Every structure is written in structure tokens, then in C-alpha cells.
Amino acid sequence: MATKTRSKLRVVRHERIRKHLSGAGERPRLAVFRSLKHIYAQIIDDATGTTLASASSQDKEIGSGNRDGAKQVGELLAKRAAEKGVKQVVFDRGGFRYHGRVAS
């Protein structure tokens, strides 16, 4: 039996979680992706397949991908989502543990 890498196991977890999550209408989906250097977050309406708002640690206002940067990404995304009229979201952790930068 072949062993799977950590990244492939994360993808399997993400697919398993996504079977039960759908963000549409009043509660779009907040998807989070964490790389080694940066963190990315976007609010997606799955009914239309469009991204309503996004933010990442690569934005000029933030610049770092640590926990403080992840918190700033969340605050920036919340501000951009409020401008679009989004009040509630469904959180999609993307197969990552709800810990550290993902929790921030």
C-alpha cells in the first residue's frame, strides 16, 4: 500500500469536508488556503461560482504570513465583505487544522 503525502491527505480531507459545505445566498463560503509563506482567504458564492471578496498576506497593507498577518488578512477580508453586504459566512478550513494561522 502506497503512503500518501501530507499535501495529498489534506486534499482528501478538504474534499470530504466540501461534500457537506455549500455557501450560497445569505451565507457564502469563506475558503482559507495556507502556504508555507502566505495565507489566502476568499468569500465565494457557490450558487453562481463567483468570488465576492478576497484578501491575502501578499496585499500591500499586510506583507507577512505569520499569525499577526493572518489576523490582518481576516480583518481586511471582513471590511471588504461588509462593503459587499456579506454579514455571515460558512467557514471552509480547506483541510487544515483549525489552529494557528487558520484560526487567526
In a domain, 99, yes or no: no
Domain span at residue 60 reads: 6-92
In a domain, 1, yes or no: no
CATH number of the domain residue 44 falls in = 3.30.420.100
In a domain, 97, yes or no: no
Around 85, how many Cα atoms within 13 Å sit in the side-chain half-sphere?
Answer: 3
Reading the block at residue 22, the C-alpha cell is 455549500
Tens digits of residue pLDDT in 16-65: 777 777 777 778 989 999 988 999 999 998 888 899 999 999 988 887 88
Q: What is the mean pLDDT of the chain?
A: 86
Evaluate whether 87 touches 95 at the Cβ level (below 8 Å).
no
In a domain, 29, yes or no: yes
How many structural domains are present in the chain?
1
Q: pLDDT confidence of 1, banded at 50, 70, 90? A: low
Model-wide pTM > 0.75: yes
In a domain, 102, yes or no: no
